[in-house]
Structure 1
Amino acid sequence: MTSDNTTQTPHKQQDLRLLMRLLPFITPYKKMVFGAALALILTAGVSLALGQGIRLLIDQGFDSADPSRLNQAMLVLAIITFLMAAGTFTRFYLVSWLGERVSNDVRLAVFNHLLTLDPYYFEVNRSGEINARLTTDTTLLQSIIGSSISMALRSSLTFVGGLVMMLITNPKLALIVLASVPLIIFPMILYGRRVRKLSRLSQDRVADIGTYAGEIVQNIKVVQSFTREAEETTAFGIEVEKAFNIAKKRILQRSILIVVAMTLVFTGLSSMIWVGAQDVASGHISSGELAAFVFYALMVAMAVATISEVYGELQRAAGATERLLELLSEEAEISSPEVPVALANGPLALTFEGVSFSYPSRLDQTALENITFSVAAGETVAIVGPSGAGKSTLFELLQRFYDPKDGHIKVAGHNIKQLNPQDLRGHLGLVPQQPTLFSADVAHNIRYGDPSATQKQIEQVAQKAYADEFIDRLPEGYGSYLGEQGVRLSGGQRQRIAIARAMLKNPSILLLDEATSALDANSEHKVQAALQELMRGRTTLIIAHRLATVMHADRIMVFNEGKLEAQGKHEDLIVTSPLYKRLSELQFNH
């Protein structure tokens, strides 16, 4: 998988063929594409016809003494102008619609795919980098698909059509213009490669800025507590300057590309006009033919200028497409079997058989080593031990966020690899030590346990979790906005919201990870009573540092340095486990 370090290494050169990989997102809208293509061809054709209208206007209007011919020429120009306006309106609307639709479809596809990836991917990739791809890159695609590609196609059509009409109108003058084409194409290819490379690097630097800023804002209290505002301002300024310096190089290359192309084009155009004026003076061509030829030459020159400018935008789009496709190509390590086993409702037994595990990002450190134990259906088992003993890792493996290196984990007698991960997790209810709340109201955060729950059910579980007493005091009650990560609530209040959420989920297996650690003595007593009600009739695993909170457990397991050292009742462990005895003496003696 791609780590965050990849943004620091050089990227292999890509070409515009990368954009072809967006076709699966465009093909569902064939009618809109067909309509836009017709409008594009119409406007290109009408633009070319405008040159002949100019020739008629000069030769049969201005140079003729017959007023009717002038009127006819003006009518032709009016019709051409109307058709061009109608075609341009249709093309602009349809192409802009496609740009918005496709970019949103890509954004949705990337987000949906991200939800399928396992936690390891998010350990080694920065959230700011992922967010930048999901927002900035898809917005860039919208601009490219909705504007730049249309401009490039239109300019390509007018370029080819203009050259053809120039050859038809006056082959000798056309050859003068064609002689400059290779001189234009070469610098476009040369500088286009540089722009593409710098565009990708520029997007990576912008992602770095977003990541850095997001981290500082998220931890603003820590920054201000340590009075590091000045240092962070300086550090952020350095990141901004890095992005600006790369952007300057990209802009310089694009500017050179445009200037070189335009200079060469208009040099050839000036030479052609000089030769054409000589032919008019000698009577070889009419004034109308020269005017039409100049019109086509200008059309070709403008088309080349537009293509040279849009080419840089397309290079940026290729870089954005590459970054998005990298996300879509990531494969989850955790997958569902073709024919998953279904779990029954009600309390479920679980078993760990010789489980060993190291986190993928820390393979040299063993988190669990040869762990074997069983928990009967409806049994309450406490897990104790010092920090880093592997207690929380048990919960992550049970939820199948990772697969063990060795051994098996079974639920209701089935290896969890035989289960659909979503079905497995649907039977598990977790109350973590540091609960996560979303930037929404109270009801949404509780309803996360069961999206189909009614308001009455939400209020019932809030009462059982003793959360209603502070919810009722909030400005809008259950409709009160909690801020990012529930910042407007205290730690104990967030914990009670999380407990209510788990109650609403009504899980078969309850996982409590220091669920009452953030509560004061009065709230802890109330919530313990609520948890006792919640645990009744369920299989429950409780991680706890305070032994007093797990004295009621059917069994206590003692973990140390990733190993299961002992298990039994409190009275037995005091005798059989030196570690448990030491923990007990430290806590109860003080």
Structure 2
Amino acid sequence: MTEPAKGTRKLSTLLQLVQFLSPYKGTMIAAAVALIFTAAITLSVGQGIRIIIDEGFASGSQQQLNRAVVILLTLSFLMAIGTFIRFYLVSWLGERVSADMRSAVFSNIIKLHPSFFEDNRSGEIMSRLTTDTTLLQTIIGSSLSMALRSSLTLVGAMVMLLVTNLKLTGMVLACVPLVLMPIILYGRRVRNLSNASQDSIAHVGSYAGEIIQNLKTVQSYTREDFETKAFDVEVENAFLIARRRIRQRAVLMAVVILLVFGGLSAMFWVGGNDVINGTMSGGELAAFVFYAIMVATAVATISEVWGELMRAAGATDRLLDLLHEDSLIVEQQDQILPLQGAARLHIAGVSFSYPSRPEELALKDLELDVEEGKSLALVGPSGAGKSTVFELLQRFYDPQQGRILLGGQDIRALPSRQLRQSLAVVPQAPAMFTADVAYNIGYGKPDATEAEIIAAAKAAHADEFIRRLPQGYQSHLGEQGVRLSGGQRQRIAIARAILKDPNILLLDEATSALDAESEYQVQLALEELMHNRTTIIIAHRLSTILHADQIAVMEHGQVVARGTHQSLLASSDLYQRLARLQFQDEAVA
């Protein structure tokens, strides 16, 4: 994802929000009618003031005064009704569009290729989903409405000024360019600083999220003070940028106010002389002052809102970047394809390098074949490409060369849903969601019944410890399953895989970090899960290798040897070394 140059972010970016506003044409029309109605009533108030002064005060008639006051009260009542309708509808639109954009952006993010998140921090993305959409809601529901209302009253008040007094109107028009000039000049600076401020706030959120996520590591290395100071530096940088933005906006507002009220003072002097000379009535001057104040207020409001609209343009840009980001994994079709031998895997001549490291091959001319119902263990030193095989099998990435066949079909021709429903993965560190046990087990099969969830838990040797939890299957696990031990999390993950009932099982050695008792329980669950399933295992322990039908030894992204444990001990120097170093403790035991 590339960030647009700050100078290219323009107010026209907001026009792209039309796609989110268009489903609510009726609401927009009603809000526009209320806006025009309220502006017209507001402009009519000036004439009410003229009538009160010229026909009420000047005539000395109580009846005329009463009539003028009734007219003014009626206009005030209508203005209040119109304002209520306008405020409600526009605020509703702001909330609705913000919610729709947040949903649309998240819907696109969740389908993106994993390499996107190698270059983009999750904290910054979360900031865009929350801070930027909230800003957008404020702009549409408040600032944009204020800008439109001020623009209408500005035009209407200028027309009424022309009708009321041509000479004084000329003075007002002469002041308008003087007021607009600083708005344009300072507006550009405010826009750039607003974009920088949004970026700095996103960086603060991203930094905090990373530290909180790794809080145990921070505390175990006693880095609390360091991280606190580092976070303070990030916060202070964001504050300094925000302070510069606020200063520019304050200067803009001060200059506009000075010019506007300076012009009003000059107009008062000229108009006051006309009233004294009898060429203008007091009511006309009062009405003119009212409209002039409306013009001044409208210009001041537009100058203030301008900075907010620029911030909204930046926020819209950032959100549209995420919304329009394309996944590198291109779906070819949606229909389910028939598979011959649905659980047979064949990797043919696959070469692959990660997008973030295009010059470094993670796999090179890889050849692997796993018969249906058989198991294959992958062994090799760190960086040999074992985990990359799992990434490609799940189609998180596509290889640059070669093919991966499932049941005789290239997985690139299969809908991702069909492919991934055929697979289940049990990683070393399984993902746990901040929900209850039943939700975590049933995650791969949302329509599973309670009985099916319990049966899967029993098959995974997890039912016993689950029932000992405070609320059993309704017990919440905390963030990332923090309330469970490592072995318990593994068995929950295995139960999840059993419930999914996949054709192919991918095991990233689920017992490598467990104590003996937990490993025994997990191994029992794995044997249940692997029964009659095509299984590929990233192996770290001798016990896993001994149970595998075949073992593939990988080095530098290639298979350098293949066979059984005994045959490889006799034929592969690398396997002998791995067995001696990696598995010697178990062999001794």
TM bin, normalised by shorter chain, reads over 0.9
8 Å contact 1:347–1:537 — kept in the other structure?
Answer: no
Give deviations 1:199-248, integer Å, cap 9, x for gaps: 11100000110111111111111111111111111111111111011101
Candidates 476, 479, 500, aligned match of 2:471: 476
1:364 deviation in Å?
2.6
1:533 deviation in Å?
2.3
CA distance in 1, matches of 2:339, 2:187: 60
Residues 123-522 of structure 1 mapped to structure 2, 5 A cutoff: 123-338=118-333, 342-344=337-339, 347-522=342-517
SS in 2 for 1:564: strand
8 Å contact 1:389–1:561 — kept in the other structure?
Answer: yes
CA distance in 1, matches of 2:386, 2:477: 30
8 Å contact 1:340–1:418 — kept in the other structure?
Answer: no
Give deviations 1:396-447, integer Å, cap 9, x for gaps: 0011101112111111111111111121111100001111111111111111
Give deviations 1:498-537, integer Å, cap 9, x for gaps: 1111111111111111122233323323332332222222
Residues 1:514 and 1:362: Cα distance change in structure 2 (over 3 Å): same
124-133 or 514-523: bigger deviation: 514-523
SS in 2 for 1:409: strand
8 Å contact 1:347–1:538 — kept in the other structure?
Answer: no
Cross-structure match for 2:569: 574
Q: Matched residues, percent identical?
A: 60
TM-score, normalization by structure 1: 0.97
Residues 1:552 and 1:102: Cα distance change in structure 2 (over 3 Å): same
CA distance in 1, matches of 2:198, 2:32: 31
Q: Which amino acid aligns with 1:248?
A: R
8 Å contact 2:339–2:406 — kept in the other structure?
Answer: no
SS in 1 for 2:343: coil
Gaps of 5+ in 2: none
Q: Which amino acid aligns with 1:95?
A: V
CA distance in 2, matches of 1:515, 1:561: 24
Give deviations 1:471-507, integer Å, cap 9, x for gaps: 1121111111111111111111111111111111111
Cross-structure match for 1:41: 36
8 Å contact 2:342–2:406 — kept in the other structure?
Answer: no
8 Å contact 2:339–2:408 — kept in the other structure?
Answer: no
8 Å contact 1:350–1:374 — kept in the other structure?
Answer: yes
1:374 deviation in Å?
1.1
Residues 1:339 and 1:100: Cα distance change in structure 2 (over 3 Å): closer
1:190 deviation in Å?
0.5
SS in 2 for 1:180: helix
CA distance in 2, matches of 1:297, 1:437: 63
8 Å contact 1:567–1:573 — kept in the other structure?
Answer: yes
SS in 1 for 2:349: strand
Cross-structure match for 1:116: 111
1:180 deviation in Å?
0.3
CA distance in 1, matches of 2:464, 2:400: 46
8 Å contact 1:446–1:458 — kept in the other structure?
Answer: yes
SS in 2 for 1:119: coil
Q: Which amino acid aligns with 2:194?
A: S
8 Å contact 2:122–2:206 — kept in the other structure?
Answer: yes
Cross-structure match for 2:546: 551
8 Å contact 2:362–2:388 — kept in the other structure?
Answer: yes
1:468 deviation in Å?
1.7
Give deviations 1:550-571, integer Å, cap 9, x for gaps: 2121111111221101111112
SS in 1 for 2:144: helix
8 Å contact 2:421–2:502 — kept in the other structure?
Answer: yes
Residues 1:521 and 1:211: Cα distance change in structure 2 (over 3 Å): same
Which stretches of structure 1, 4 residues or longer, exceed 6 Å deviation after superposition?
A: none
Q: Which amino acid aligns with 1:22?
A: L
1:343 deviation in Å?
4.6
1:182 deviation in Å?
0.3
8 Å contact 2:411–2:419 — kept in the other structure?
Answer: yes
Gaps of 5+ in 1: none
CA distance in 1, matches of 2:295, 2:282: 20
1:74 deviation in Å?
1.1
Task: Report the RMSD for the aligned CA atoms in angstroms.
Answer: 1.4
Give deviations 1:257-294, integer Å, cap 9, x for gaps: 11111111111111111111111111111111111000
8 Å contact 2:339–2:409 — kept in the other structure?
Answer: no
CA distance in 1, matches of 2:301, 2:240: 26
SS in 2 for 1:331: coil
TM-score, normalization by structure 2: 0.97
Alignment length, in residue pairs? Answer: 585
8 Å contact 1:467–1:496 — kept in the other structure?
Answer: yes
CA distance in 1, matches of 2:491, 2:340: 25
